[in-house]
Chains A and B, each alone.
Chain A
Amino acid sequence: MSWSPATAAERDEMLAVIGHKTIEDLFAAVPNAFRPKSWDLPAGISEMAVRDQLGKLAAQNASGHISFLGGGAYDHYIPAAIDALTSRGEFYTAYTPYQPECAQGTLQSIYEYQSAICRLTDMEFANASLYDGGTAVFEATTMSVRLTGRSRIVIHPSLNPIYRKMLATHTAHLQLDIVEGEDPKDAACVIVQNPSFLGAVADFSKLAEKCHAAGAMLVVSFYPISLGIVKSPGEMGADICIAEGQCMGVPLAFGGPWLGVMATRKAHVRKMPGRIAAETSDAQGRRGFVLTLQAREQHIRREKAMSNICSNEALCALRALIYMSLMGKEGFRDVARHCHAKAEYLKSKLSFVKVLNEGPTFNEFAVRLPRNAEETVTAMAKCGYLAGLPLAPLGAGAETDLLIAVTERRTRADLDAFAAALEEVTCN
Chain B
Amino acid sequence: MQLIFEKTVRGRRAITLDPLDVPEAKLPELVSRAKTAELPELAEIDIIRHFTNLSRRNFGVDSHFYPLGSCTMKYNPKIAEVVAALPGFGQLHPHLSTSEAYWPLCQGAFELIYETEHWLAEIAGMKETCLQPIAGAHGELAGTLLIAAYHRERGESNKDTILIPDSAHGTNPASAAIAGFKVVEVPSHDDGTMRLESIKAAMNENVAGLMMTCPNTHGLFEPAVAEIADYLHQHDALLYYDGANLNAIIGKARPGDLGFDVMHYNLHKTFATPHGMGGPGSGPVGVGERLAKYLPGPRVVKRHGAFALEMPEKSIGRLSQFFGNFGMAVRALAYMKHLGRDGLCEVAENAVLNANYIWARLKDTYTPAFDLPFMHECVFTAAPQAKNGARALDIAKALLDYGFHAPTVYFPLTVKESIMIEPTETESRETLDAFCDAMIEIAKTIESDPAALADAPKTTPVGRLDEVKAARQLNCACL
Contacts and interface: CB of A to CB of B under 8 A. Distances in A.
A415 B173 CA distance: 52
Interface in B234-289: 249, 251-254, 257-258, 268, 272, 274-283
Nearest to B108: A60
A60 B54 contact: no
Interface stretch (A148-156, A213-221, A330-338, A350-358): A330-338
B201 interface: no
B445 interface: no
Contacts, number: 721
B96 interface: yes
A253 B33 contact: no
Interface in B45-86: 47-48, 50-52, 54-64, 66, 68, 71, 73-77, 79, 81-86
Given A169-B296, A169-B319, A386-B102, 20 more contacts: A17-B360, A29-B220, A41-B123, A50-B337, A63-B92, A96-B275, A131-B134, A203-B30, A229-B32, A252-B93, A253-B90, A256-B320, A257-B134, A257-B328, A283-B466, A308-B140, A310-B136, A344-B22, A393-B99, A412-B21
B339 interface: yes
A101 B122 contact: no
Contacts of B76: 92-93
A33 B226 contact: yes
Given A308-B175, A389-B98, A229 B27 contact: yes
Interface string B146-181: 001100000000000000000001110111111111
B470 A279 contact: yes
B442 interface: no
Given A256-B326, A309-B135, A341-B24, A231 B474 contact: no
A309 B137 contact: yes
A290 B465 contact: yes
A171 to B, nearest CB: 8
A339 B163 CA distance: 52
A73 B92 CA distance: 11
B15 A345 contact: no
A85 B338 contact: no
By Cβ-Cβ distance, the 8 closest A-B pairs, closest first, are A173-B180, A89-B62, A44-B340, A255-B322, A58-B88, A315-B276, A60-B108, A169-B317
A373 to B, nearest CB: 8
B479 A119 contact: yes
B92 A252 contact: yes
Given A30-B253, A42-B340, A290-B465, A277 B476 contact: yes
B58 A103 contact: yes
A199 interface: no
Nearest to A194: B31
Interface residues of A, number: 214
A301 to B, nearest CB: 7
A193 interface: no
A378 B28 contact: no
B371 interface: no
Given A62-B96, A108-B54, A360 B470 contact: no
A124 B479 contact: yes
Contact of B318 (A43, A98, A169): A169
Most buried by A among B88, B95, B357, B465: B95
6 contacts: A59-B88, A108-B1, A111-B3, A257-B134, A280-B470, A314-B278
Most buried by A among B108, B221, B349: B108
Interface in B445-466: 457, 460-466
A254 B337 contact: no
A38 interface: yes
Interface residues of B, number: 208
Given A303-B174, A329-B37, A54 B334 contact: yes
B125 interface: yes
Contacts of A284: 463
A170 interface: yes
A381 to B, nearest CB: 6
Nearest to B461: A104
A302 B166 CA distance: 11
Contacts of B357: 14, 17-18
Contact of B122 (A39, A117, A135): A39
A87 B51 CA distance: 11
B469 A281 contact: yes
Interface string A115-139: 1111110101110110111110000
Contacts of A13: 429
Nearest to A123: B477
Nearest to A202: B31
A15 to B, nearest CB: 7
B177 A303 contact: yes
Interface in A340-372: 340-345, 360, 362
B47 A325 contact: yes
A109 B56 CA distance: 12
B134 A135 contact: yes
A407 B73 CA distance: 38
A304 to B, nearest CB: 8
Nearest to A71: B95
A360 B464 contact: no
Contact of A69 (B41, B73, B95, B179): B95
A2 B277 contact: no
Nearest to A129: B279
Given A75-B93, A170-B319, A227-B33, A5 B428 contact: yes
Most buried by B among A114, A170, A257, A333: A257
Contacts of B336: 41
B58 A90 contact: yes
Nearest to A163: B321
B361 interface: yes
Contacts of A341: 20, 22-25
Given A59-B88, A90-B58, A278 B346 contact: no
Contacts of B21: 411-412
A381 B105 contact: yes
Contact of B346 (A4, A34, A92, A335): A4
A99 interface: yes
Interface stretch (A182-190, A291-299, A420-428): A291-299
B121 to A, nearest CB: 10
